[in-house]
Amino acid sequence: MCTSYYRPKLILHVSAGATPKDGSSDGCTMIISLLSLAIKRPLRKDLAMTSEVTLTGRILPIFGVKEKIIAAWRSEIKTIIFPAANRINFDELSDNVKEGFDVHFVDDYSKIF
């Protein structure tokens, strides 16, 4: 009798074809959105996140932390999830740019939900 079991995985690849882009930093958002849908637990409306996710669940660093903070402010976002590797970029921002945000830094997608 085989004691191992099969753990199904969902691998989502969204290619942009000829569309130029800087990166695929919406991976963690797609994963958490699908998980939220699967377990019927809605996400907060004031939450934003960004990062590419590897097949093993690692959250990869992003570019444009300041620009993403400004976009969050304009969209009335209060909670942001950034890759742990970008903590130094966030810490370098002036206090008035960071003011009013609840920022979390993660290195694995399982720590988001």
Q: For the residues of 28-59, what is the DSSP string, one character each?
A: HHHHHHHHHHHHT-PPPTTEEE---B-TT-BB
Single out the residue of 100, 68, 95 nearest to residue 81, CA to CA.
68
Tens of pLDDT, residue by residue over 17-50, are: 555 555 567 788 888 888 888 899 998 889 999 8
The runs of H, that is alpha helices, within the chain are 27-39, 65-74, 87-91, 95-98
What residue spans define the domains of the chain? 44-111
Residue-level pLDDT at 90: 96
Q: How confident is the model at residue 57 (pLDDT cuts 50, 70, 90)?
A: confident
Catalytically annotated residues: 25, 68
How far is the C-alpha of 20 from the C-alpha of 23, rounded, in Å? 9
The DSSP 8-state label assigned to residue 22 in this structure reads: S
pTM, entire model: 0.78
What architecture is domain 44-111? 2-Layer Sandwich (3.30)
